[in-house]
Structure 1
Amino acid sequence: MAQTPDIDDLAAGLYGGIGLLARRIRHLQAPGDLSLPERSALARLDRGGPNTAAELARAEQITSQAMGTTLSALEERGFVERRPDPHDGRRVIMSVTEAGVEILRHKRDARAQQLAKALGEQFTVSELETLRAAAPLIERLGESL
């Protein structure tokens, strides 16, 4: 029977490893690229569909004011657009534009290609299978925080 892993050790290991990966990916950002909050908000709109700024702020665990600033910057660049809520005229719904989808796809591709290169050069088939199985779990962990 397999022994249950020490949760504190596992948490510390994941925190360190994911933190390192996030920092390295952040350094791949070139001038003019989306900031981390912009990328995150845009990706959430792309995955989840149109939403209000307040709902996006709650999902990202930031203030409504910070999300408003992020969305304004994205709107100025033509990556999101605002429309009145058809069911409640007091609310504004934000959605990703074609340009927003394209910039996300391009950034995903560039970063994914860099990750794929590292994976292909540095990891065994068995390790790749382990990472493939862990990827949805890591995403679920991030969503639960």
Structure 2
Amino acid sequence: MGQSQSQAQGDRPREGGERTSPATAGRAALRAAAHPDGDIGKSHQLRAWNYWMMSQRSGTLSYQVFAAGFSLAVFLLFYVGCDLYGWRIGVLCTFGANALAAYVLHMMVDHSVKSFMPRDAPEWYMWGGRAVFIGATYLLVRSLELRAIYLKL
């Protein structure tokens, strides 16, 4: 019967003689185990959900607000640069003038390039494949633009 009231409630002494509740100790253990050895595979199951977590899959409010703000900032950047200052970037003009053709062609080019890309490819091979993908898509859309062929709805 020599227990104090805090020990009777389940508190455990810390290193410096301080007391901690089981809930605080549990949260500390979860934080310590959040990313064992840098592996983040199952750490999402250990994190406590809160209002500020950003998840595209679950559509959290913080993600939607951030995505809307980021999209608005990029739009504003292009509006100021292109509409107010008159800047033109050839690649963006080509893809913008024939966006539907670029959308259709990029899926076909992606399928073709992906068949030559192994899943365990080294980084330089991955970047080379990405360059081939972007370059082939651009050349196809540019050839349509030079022939004045535009897909429209």
TM-score (norm 2): 0.28
Q: Which structure shows the higher helix fraction?
A: 1
For CA contacts below 8 A with separation 6 or more, give which structure has more relative contact order: 1
